[in-house]
Structure 1
């Protein structure tokens, strides 16, 4: 069943779902008949992202960057590197030895072990042992874009580690710090937890519906191409549905594009000073900033984007929005200028719009393929993503 026709009209009539138009997170709401942004009866409702899976040929180099970026090491073998944050829970990232540096796929955390059985029955798969420190169970799936997606229930979790303390701030008449100076140390921004992953897909609508129907994600914000709103959204920020419990504005974001692949992943740090001082630490060690520091519009988080030695993009963030399940999606036009409330101009490196022979080949292949990209949409994307 497509969620495009799965709106729970009874809930809307009862007032159980609030609109998001009163300065909550978007200036606009849905028009009549537009995508509701949630499924009426999803197979399961995942609780969160568990971790992300990557391959890299050089685990030693990957570990050096990981420590500089602020990860802790949960486990290391000859072929695997498990990275963690300071919060209790599962690891943030697993890096396996492979021929090339690449993103494999996301792993979501099941709310309950029985959800894996329900998911396996609905998808014709099976529940297997999970290759995670401490043990657990998992179901392996494939989304419509071709990404391997796993849902896992872990037998145990990592204990919390000491984290960076937020600085005590003086603000206006509130003098919380007296006879003391501020000297945040120049050190890595210690990662607290995994926040979200962003993916590009050429089959956006089909993939979006799969995540809503299968994993129970719900949309916080839709973006559409200016002048093409009637054709539906081209980007979605999706959160987990945990009922009245507020969760991250987005756990997964995806947008239409000529390619299918990883865009970036984001990791929470303590506060703005930790984010900024950690950025200085990375710059001193020769790493490349992609874009930042600034504050986003959708999600509101403070951000700072960096490239690892293999040019994969990672984000430090702090102070993101938290939404409960009773907010409907916001709708806004997709534009490079609409990515931030403040900060430096968005870069071509972040947008991925720098011309190259590989990018031209990707666009040509997409226009010839069986997907949702056509010349009008491609032109709209180019205009939207032109700084």
Structure 2
């Protein structure tokens, strides 16, 4: 069946603060992708201490779908497979992501085009998948036909008296300080030393499309340095970004984000985490690209995770926006981006310097000019 082509719109007229692409800049989409994925499915990590990981996961608001001595599956309240799979290992490590194909036929098509074998996934998850590796070395599964965990009760949003509308009469707002119940996995953010090559691979292989590009201050002519990438589901709106990809001195995980019901759930859930001694990295605020309300936390192993609510959704008609990549441009309101969030804290300094020196010696896109641009981000 021929794919219906929907006329594209200027995504920045009355919508974004910055204009769209200039002549000759990256289009943000592939002309003939191998398949078009429907969503992100789950993330995989190894952890040395699953009991400690579970304690944080419960405080953060995950449900437990499976627990055994070697594996822990975390779920949200929406129906579907688990959104995080933790396996026992000698050290904390991001072990890859899984993307959900539209159907099993797309998994077979991808296997045929790439030469990768079709894998039957463990029975506890079900379905089939293809295991690939992106150009930066991140393992990427593409899956379909998984068992669907039944939906669980959601944390209901508070009834709000907003503007001139009155919806709450003879009643108060008293959100309890309990974990903010995670509804689902929203997105993952990765860093790459070969950013453009990796970006093009996701667009060409999975039919993903760019919602917004960021460029280093004063370096727009060098091309983008970060992209927020969504799934192309035609006229069906999808999250502003399912994957975000940034140029940097190391190929690594940056953070992952999990949706909660509303601002009250996010804020009260943050108080619950703080009372239990967990570290807030940055928040609460509202982003610009994607518009999400956000609150970032460090898990006990130092990995960054985000609660978010009220994010943008786009269909496939919107073209990407372009904006400078600055620390002050990461939020519409909220506290300034912290050194911890920007990986500029003393805790991260030695690792960052080592990564930068290694990247500058390597054959990649991270040269001295790009290092200068990256250093300007935190100061701008």
**How many angstroms does 1:113 deviate by?**
0.2
CA distance in 2 between partners of 1:330 and 1:166 (Å): 31
The 3-state SS of whatever aligns with 1:264 is: strand
Partner of 2:162: 171
Matched, 1:357 2:367: no
> 1:240 Cα shift?
0.3
SS, match of residue 322 in structure 2: strand
Q: Secondary structure at the match of 2:205?
A: helix
SS of equivalent to 1:349: coil
The CA distance in 2 between the partners of 1:134 and 1:144, in whole Å, is 27
Runs of at least 5 residues in structure 2 that lack an aligned partner in the other structure: none
Partner of 1:222: 213
Name the CA distance, whole Å, in 2 between partners of 1:87 and 1:154. Answer: 17
Secondary structure in structure 2 of the residue aligned to 1:276: helix
TM-score, scaled relative to structure 2? 0.97
1:206 aligns with 2:197: yes
How far apart are residue 228 of structure 1 and its match? 1.3
Q: Please state if 1:373 is matched with 2:366.
A: yes
Greater shift, 128-137 or 311-320, is seen at 128-137
- The answer on whether the counterparts of 1:26 and 1:331 sit within 8 Å (CA) in structure 2 is no
Is 1:386 the counterpart of 2:374? The answer is: no
Show the counterpart of 2:303.
312
In the alignment, what sits opposite 2:335? Answer: 344
1:61 counterpart (44, 52, 55):
52
Q: Distance in 2 between matches of 1:167 and 1:358?
A: 42
Is there any run of 5+ residues in structure 1 with no aligned partner, and where?
Answer: 1-10
**Counterparts of 1:89 and 1:40, CA distance in 2:** 31
CA contact (8 A) 2:116 2:131 kept: yes
- Which residue does the alignment assign to 1:190? 181
Q: Which residue of 2 aligns with 1:153?
A: 144
1:18-45 CA distance string (max 9 Å, x none): 1112122342100011100000110010
**RMSD between superposed Cα atoms in Å:** 1.3
Residue 262 (structure 2) aligns with: 271
Q: How many residues align?
A: 375
Q: In the aligned structure 2, how far is the partner of 1:152 from the partner of 1:234? A: 29
Query: What is residue 289 of structure 2 aligned with on the other side?
Result: 298
Q: Which residue of 2 aligns with 1:41?
A: 32
Give the match for residue 109 of structure 1. Answer: 100
Are 1:233 and 2:224 matched, yes or no? yes
Q: Does the residue aligned with 2:119 lie in a helix, a strand or coil?
A: strand
SS at match of 2:340: helix
Render the CA deviation track for 1:105-125: whole Å, top value 9, x for unaligned: 110011010111111111110
Give the superposition deviation at 1:226.
2.0
CA contact (8 A) 1:20 1:26 kept: no
Kindly provide the CA deviation profile for residues 283-311 of structure 1, in whole angstroms up to 9, marking residues without a partner as x: 00000000000000000000000000001
Q: 1:120 aligns with which of 111, 119, 139?
A: 111
Answer yes or no: is the 8 Å Cα contact 2:81–2:125 preserved in 1: no
CA distance in 1, matches of 2:362, 2:239: 35
TM-score (norm 1): 0.95
Report the Cα distance in structure 2 between the residues aligned to 1:175 and 1:227, rounded to whole angstroms: 48
Deviation at 1:171, TM superposition (A): 1.5
